[in-house]
Amino acid sequence: MEPAETKSQPPDEQVDLLSSLPSVRVQESYLLYQYQGFWYPPHFVQGIINCQQQFQPRENDIFLVTAPKSGTTWFRALLFALMNRKTHPPQSPHHPLLHKTPSGLLPLLEMVHPSEYDSAACNSLDSNNTRIFSTHMPLATLPKSITDNSSTSSNCKIVYLCRGIKDNFVSFFHFINNNNYLHSPISLEDAFELYCNGKFVIGPVWDQILGYWKESLESPHKVLFMKYEDMKIEPRIQLTRLARFLGNPFSPEEQNSGLIDQILSLCSFDNLSKLKVNNIQEPGVPVTSKSFFRNGVVGDAKNYLSADMVSRLDQITQEKFRDYNLSL
Ligand code: A3P
């Protein structure tokens, strides 16, 4: 989720559109709208429609797709550092990640105004002019020009990142309450009920995950399916896998020079979370950059969820994924 004017009324031109969509009231002044099977805050809906109508992918574009609170910030940093390692060596004291937030470098496509698609991507351009975007859009909602294998965008790559469902929920719960999305904090129980029913930002999360999982099996050259936990457990292997998928593999010299570890260290939670740029509260923006760094611990959900909550989430996840050989 990105900084946005979530408390203000949607502009006039959105009202007709929004009123035609199913909605759910999370709190008095906070509604989510269902668009193409998924639930969004109002500003997302317009951004997605703009994107569907106006975004033109280029050959070699890269899209980092995530469900919110799955490690988007981490992978934005990793992708940027990986693809720009020649122009910006990870140990450079002037590395852009030391001075700009990961979301500033890799903007969320659906939050970018159509007139700024190109300029927003400028920050991420590597030496081959590859644009890198981040998005939360489900596969079926992505502009067809991105997913259509026969079009000029056929070389576009999609990196899909997901995270264990229980940690995803707990991370989300904290994020919402640590920012000014709602007028008053939502209780764990209320948030849990909405999440389980799929009525959460870009929910149902299981459906978003499954869309990309299936596509990664059908088009492995186009979609790489990654897990937050795997990157935690075996970061070198996963970063190497990512580099290879993006057609930018580490050379033997790079592997021997310690470059992989340098990228991982630059993008580590410890490093990024301490940087001044990631601890600034910008005036007028309801989301603090600090709130994108909580603790980054796998399994933290057990400290918040009751046994019943764990078992309910596990059950939903098993049911949703049972036929697809996927576990989270
Ligand atoms: P927790 O709330 O569990 O700590 P997103 O970037 O998609 O919004 O996800 C945020 C989650 O990723 C938060 O999880 C945050 O702490 C974690 N995170 C952020 N930067 C990270 C990093 N460099 N390494 C590992 N996890 C990170």
List Cβ neighbours of 324 (8 Å cut-off, separation of 6 or more): 210, 213, 214
Q: What is the CATH number of the domain that holds 36?
A: 3.40.50.300
Assess if residue 4 is contained within a domain: no
- Of 324, 295, 32, 299, nearest to 182 by C-alpha is 32
Question: Can you give the pLDDT at residue 182?
Answer: 87
- The rounded distance, in Å, linking the Cα atoms of 88 and 235 is 20
Question: Which tokens hold the place of 139?
Answer: 């596969």
Question: Which tokens hold the place of 73?
Answer: 């910030």
- The rounded distance, in Å, linking the Cα atoms of 1 and 70 is 10
| Residue range of the domain that includes 33 | 11-324
List Cβ neighbours of 112 (8 Å cut-off, separation of 6 or more): 47, 120
**Dihedral Cα 269, 272, 273, 274, nearest 10 deg:** 120
Closest residue by Cα to atom 14, ligand 1, is 296
Under a CB-based contact definition with an 8 Å cutoff, are residues 95 and 266 in contact?
yes
Q: Tell me which of 162, 292, 295, 304 to substitute to probe ligand 1's pocket, judged by most ligand atoms within 8 Å of the beta carbon.
A: 292
61 Cα to the center of ligand 1, angstroms: 24
Question: Can you give the pLDDT at residue 255?
Answer: 96
11 Cα to the center of ligand 1, angstroms: 32
Atom index in ligand 1 nearest the CA of residue 175 equals: 2
161 Cα to the center of ligand 1, angstroms: 12
Q: pLDDT truncated to tens, each residue of the chain (328 aa)?
A: 554 434 445 566 667 889 999 999 998 889 999 999 999 999 999 999 999 999 999 988 999 999 999 999 999 999 999 999 999 999 999 999 999 999 999 989 999 999 999 888 877 777 778 999 999 999 999 999 898 877 666 789 999 999 999 999 999 999 999 887 888 999 999 999 999 999 999 999 999 999 999 999 999 999 999 999 999 999 999 999 999 999 999 999 999 999 999 999 999 999 999 999 999 877 767 788 889 999 999 999 999 999 999 999 999 999 999 999 999 9
Q: Give me the residues paired with residue 147 across strands.
A: none
Q: Tell me which of 74, 135, 170 to substitute to probe ligand 1's pocket, judged by most ligand atoms within 8 Å of the beta carbon.
A: 74
Assess if residue 2 is contained within a domain: no
Assess if residue 84 is contained within a domain: yes
Under a CB-based contact definition with an 8 Å cutoff, are residues 161 and 72 in contact?
yes
Closest residue by Cα to atom 23, ligand 1, is 269
Q: pLDDT tens digits for 174-197?
A: 999 988 788 899 999 999 999 999
76 Cα to the center of ligand 1, angstroms: 11
Atom index in ligand 1 nearest the CA of residue 70 equals: 7
Question: Can you give the pLDDT at residue 59?
Answer: 87
Q: What is the pTM of this model?
A: 0.94
226 Cα to the center of ligand 1, angstroms: 15
Assess if residue 6 is contained within a domain: no
List Cβ neighbours of 98 (8 Å cut-off, separation of 6 or more): 275, 277
Number of domains in the chain: 1
Task: Return the number of other C-beta atoms located less than 10 Å from residue 82's C-beta.
Answer: 22
Active site residues: 136
Closest residue by Cα to atom 8, ligand 1, is 69
Q: pLDDT tens digits for 108-136?
A: 999 999 999 988 887 777 777 899 999 99
Pocket of ligand 1 (CB under 6 A): 66, 68-74, 167, 171, 174, 267-269, 272, 292-296, 300
